[in-house]
Structure formats: C-alpha cells, structure tokens
Structure 1
Amino acid sequence: MSISFDNRVAIVTGAGAGLGRSHALALAKRGVKVVVNDLGGSVSGEGASSEAAEKVVEEIKAAGGEAIANGASVTDPDGVGAMVEQAMSAYGHIDILVNNAGVLRDKSFSKMTLEDFRFVLDVHLMGSVTCTKAVWDHMREREYGRIVMTSSSSGLYGNFGQSNYGAAKMGLVGLMNVLHIEGAKKGIHVNTLAPTAATRMTEGLIPEEMLKLMTPESVTAALLYLVCDEAPSRLILAAGAGGYAATRITETDGISLAPDHQTPEEIQARMEEILSEDGEQMLEDGSGQTMKFLQKAMARG
C-alpha cells in the first residue's frame, strides 16, 4: 500500500545538503510542502549562507513541488520562532518536524575543549529541543504531529573522538522517550532515525567503493516511514546502505537481594544472573524499573 502525505507540511532542519537535502526532496516529491532550513555553515559550524537552502528550494520547485527556504540557526530561539511563523504564514499548519541539523568537532576527550563540547550539544540536542518546542503546542492543538530526532551509532554505541557528538546523540533518545509519552494522547508520534550515509561528515572515513552503497536516499526511505500517518512512536530506526534495523534499549530481569545481602561482594558474585538475558524486556517508562524492583522485593518476603 502506497504511503500518502496529502496536505502535509514539514520543516526539515539542516536541509541544504546531505541527508537533510535528501529528506526534503523526497518529502516534496510525495506532495509535502517543505520548509528547507539550513544555516549554510561548514561541517564544524562556521559561517552562514542562505544559498544552500535556496538551491534545494529551486530543485523542489523545478520538480513541481512547493517549498520555502529558511536560514535560521536551530540554536537561536527567536530565529526558530520566526521560521515557524514563516511556515504558518505560507501553509497554515505544520505536521512534520525533522530534526536533522548537525555539526562535528571531533577530538579525543583529553584534547577537546569545553567550548567544542557545548557547541555540538547546543546544535544537536538543544537545537532539536528548540525546534520541537516551537512546534509542540501547535501540534498538540491540532492533535497531530510527526517528529523525528536524528541520532547516531556514535551515541548508541560509542565512537573514538566523538564524546560531544555521542553525548548529544544519545540525549536525543532520552528526549524522544519522554516526548513519546507526553505526546501520545495528542496524536504526536516521536521517533529517532539512526543513519549512516555518505555525506560531508563521512568524507575521508570510508573507502570510496563502499561510500557508493551508502546513499542518503537509502536513509531517507526510513525517514519517510517515520513521519507518515501510520508511523510508529518511540522507535529507533537504524538505516544505511539499504539496511534497516531497530535499536532497542532493554533491561535484564535481574535479581533481588535481601537487606543483609545488599553488598558489592554479593553483586559481584551474582553478575552472571544479573546479566542473563532470560526475561529481558523493553520498559514503557521510568516507573517500570521501579515497579519491577519493588515487586521482586515484595516477592522476596
């Protein structure tokens, strides 16, 4: 069954190049009216230019789609607010937000400055917070919304030299978890895309013949699913080179120790039981862990 996006409006941040451009073009091809947001800076966040966003808008219009360009920085609440107003003025409503804007300032943790750590968190994490906050009440009022965070294997699993990037990307998973719960009754679905693709951020890291397999379009297919009417919520969908997989945060069943056995020595002795995957589960919210432990304690007697 074909996925439809009738009368949908999307904001895509960081849409002047790479994955964001691919997302914007694909959404527009399926009839979505797109706000193409891009500050136009370098991979590390220096400089600004509206040229990149305007070129993508030209591509969309040349193909018969509808789009407008926006050059706001996702770290600027006033600029983001003006972008939302621009979208509302042009199209009347906002259905989809793709938080894609990002930067890299890679260095080993011992050599990284706090300024570079904060800057990467500001763009990836606080930028997504700022854009999401700007559309949140509108989506609640309309009782419809599709929001995607962009994470990374660097945050989910770790990668040398990317402590700032990894921390930001894992923070977005925590943001998704909470907003999924808070948005559920208002028809707002919040998901996370964990992509790997050949973009400016991967240049020089992967052999050329392998890069050819890692098209942005293969990742965008997953993005389109995450923002459609039938989209799930609270899914971390990994995508790259035509591969698609779900990343899940699970908790082992664990053990329960009586007060006189609650020692580090006892924990050490029973780590095999603690790590056992038997009874492992995905918890629905933070209270699930508390209730599990309390039930085990009560059953222990």
Structure 2
Amino acid sequence: MSGILEGRVAIVTGAGRGLGREHALELARQGAKVVVNDLGTTLDGAGNSVGPAQEVVDLIRAAGGEAVANGADIADFAQAGELVAQAVSEFGRLDILVNNAGFVRDRMLVNAEESEWDAVIRVHLKGHFAPLRHASAYWRNEAKEGRMPVARVINTSSGAGLQGSVGQAAYAAAKGGIASLTLVAAQELGRYGVAVNAIAPSARTRMTEGPFADAMAAPEEGFDRMNPANVSPIVAWLASPDCSVTGRVLEIEGGRLCLEEGWNHGPVRELDRRWEAAEVGDAVREMEAEGARPEPVYGA
C-alpha cells in the first residue's frame, strides 16, 4: 500500500466502528502503519472487547497494510500513555494522532444527570487530552534529540460544539472544548514540528442513529452525503506532510468543506471610565444590531 502517508505511523482512537474505522482504513490505504484503538463498548458505554479493533486490523492486513489492535481506555491517563508507547514499540515511531473516540448521553439540560455529564466530558474532552499529552511529550523529546518531527494531530469536534445543539449540552460543551484545545495545542506544539487541526464531521454513525436518523439515512440512489467514508480522505491529507495549516477546524459533510471561523471580536463600545449598570443595555443592543448574526443552534 502506498500513498501520501507512506512510511508514517498513526494512532486512530475509536477506530473499531463508524468514522474511526473509515479513518483507519483510509490512512492504511495511503501507506500508514496504524494502531487501531477501540475499547469495544456498546453505545451506552457498557462492556469492552478488542473485537471491533481487531476486525479493522484484519481488513488492513488483508489489503497488504500493517496494523495492530489496541483496547485502551483513552480517557485513562496511564492507558493513553501505553497506547502511544505501543505505537513506538511496534513501528519505531509515531507521526499521526487521530483523536476520534466518543459517545453520547443526550438529555435536555433540566433532565441531565451528573454522571452523564461526567461521562461525556471524560470520554470526549479528557479522551482527547490524554493521548495528545503523551504524544506531545514523545514529539518534544524527539525534537530535543535532534529528530525534528513532521507530526500531525487531527481532533474531532462537531457542529454541536461550534453552534450548539438542543438536547446535547454535555456533548456540545465537550466538543467546543476540543475546538479550543486544538487552538492552544497548535500554538504550543508548532515548535516541535507538530500541526494540530480539528474536523467537525457530519456522518452516519452509531451516535447519529437516534435523534438524527432521518437526516442521516442513506439515499436510495446517488451520492450518499452521510457516508462516514466521505470524511476520511480529508483526515488523510491533514495527517500528511503536505498539510500546511494548523490551529484550524474544518467542517465536512459529503463533498462540502467549510473552514470554520469561530469566535472573532465584533463591534466595540469603550469608555474611559467604569460602566454604569443602567447604560449597559443600550450599548449591548446597539452592538448586537451591528454585529453578525450567530449561527442557529441545531434543533432550535
């Protein structure tokens, strides 16, 4: 197998099913050696099995590629470190980290349980931080030893994190946090040869089979915009040495790419003194009228 990732080594988390599976297969098609990570749980987080990861490994090997399975809980700090260590021990290096693993606990805010909030933040946000932290330490050491990396990180945000989504407070908060984490990591790790970007994909996966099932359904004919395989070529390019951007978020749906612009400073009102409470309202209303309208919240 050869392509734009020839000779590179990648970790893909949550790669047993859905988007992660397609990412792992595409990276392998492009020549990467892949550590296929998946805890193998049900959608509600029950149980674990290396089976889904191993199935993807078997597909990659059958096509002539190189891959190994990993069943680590990527939100466990120590296990995330072992995941990075496995890539280096198996293949001699690490060039690419695709943070993809996640799950949902959809609730309206007034019905959300503390345990559900904690679980979603843990899997998504800490599950991005922990592998990234260990991979970053590896790349920093490589740079200090005179082996400057050409490393790439692809995080997974969501439209829910960028625009908000009714009934998904925890998920939206975690995905928004991932977008911000991407900005910081890009600035901090650039000195070590690491580019860090994020995607916000729309695709048919286990997580979208519930409330978004109708919107995600495959068409009877024509281009299937919600096929998760549509997203993976973008991930492959972001993982390549040719990737010349960092600190950006790309929204992907079918054949549509959108460069997200995020928070920007808008209209300003400034005094050379402290504001009086009674005068704030008029100033804010004027600025709101002048500024760009925010994107609608999903489900609003």
Aligned to 1:110: 110
Unaligned runs of 5+ in 1: 279-301
- Cross-structure match for 1:167: 173
Match of 1:55 in 2: 55
Counterpart position of 1:268: 281
Alpha-carbon separation, structure 2, partners of 1:86 and 1:148? 19
Give the match's secondary structure for 2:109: coil
The separation in 1 between residues aligned to 2:164 and 2:267, in whole angstroms, is 25
| Residue 235 in structure 1 maps to residue 244 in structure 2 | no
Q: What corresponds to 2:162 in structure 1?
A: 156
Please, which of 253, 260, 267 is the counterpart of residue 247 of structure 1? 260
Alignment correspondent of 2:188: 182
**Corresponding residue SS for 2:179:** helix
Answer yes or no: is the 8 Å Cα contact 1:176–1:190 preserved in 2: yes
SS in 2 for 1:5: coil
Measure, in 2, the Cα distance between the counterparts of 1:112 and 1:60. Answer: 40
Contact residue 3 and residue 228 of structure 1 kept, 8 A = no
Equivalents in 2 of 1:179, 1:83: separation in Å?
A: 20
Higher mean alpha-carbon deviation, 131-140 vs 119-128, is at: 131-140
Identify the residue that residue 296 of structure 2 maps to in structure 1.
Answer: none
CA displacement at 1:270 relative to structure 2: 2.8
Q: Report deviation, 1:87.
A: 1.1
Give 1:277 deviation, angstroms. 4.6
Deviation at 1:267, TM superposition (A): 3.3
TM-score normalised according to structure 1 size: 0.87
Q: Give aligned pairs, total.
A: 276
Structure 1 segments (4+ residues) deviating >4 Å: none
CA shift digits 1:184-228 (9 cap, x unpaired): 111111111101101111114232245942111111122122221
* Bigger shift: residues 240-249 or 60-69: 240-249
Q: Which position in structure 2 is the counterpart of 1:259? A: 273
SS in 1 for 2:269: coil
Return closer, same or farther for 1:267/1:225 CA change in 2, 3 Å cut-off. farther
Structure-2 residue corresponding to 1:79: 79
**Paired residue secondary structure (1:181):** helix
CA–CA separation in structure 2 for the residues paired with 1:53 and 1:209: 25
Residue 268 of structure 1 deviates from its aligned partner by 2.4
Q: Please tell me the residue identity of whatever aligns with 1:105.
A: R
Report which stretch shifted further, 51-60 or 80-89: 80-89
Where structure 2 has 5 or more consecutive residues not aligned to the other structure, the ranges are: 143-147, 293-300
CA distance in 1, matches of 2:277, 2:3: 53
Between the two structures, name the one with larger relative contact order (CA 8 Å, sep ≥ 6).
Answer: 2
Maintained 8 Å contact 1:254/1:273: no
Q: Distance in 1 between matches of 2:71 and 2:246?
A: 29
Q: Does 1:193 align with 2:199?
A: yes
State the identity %. 38
How far, CA to CA, are the matches of 2:77 and 2:99 in structure 1?
14
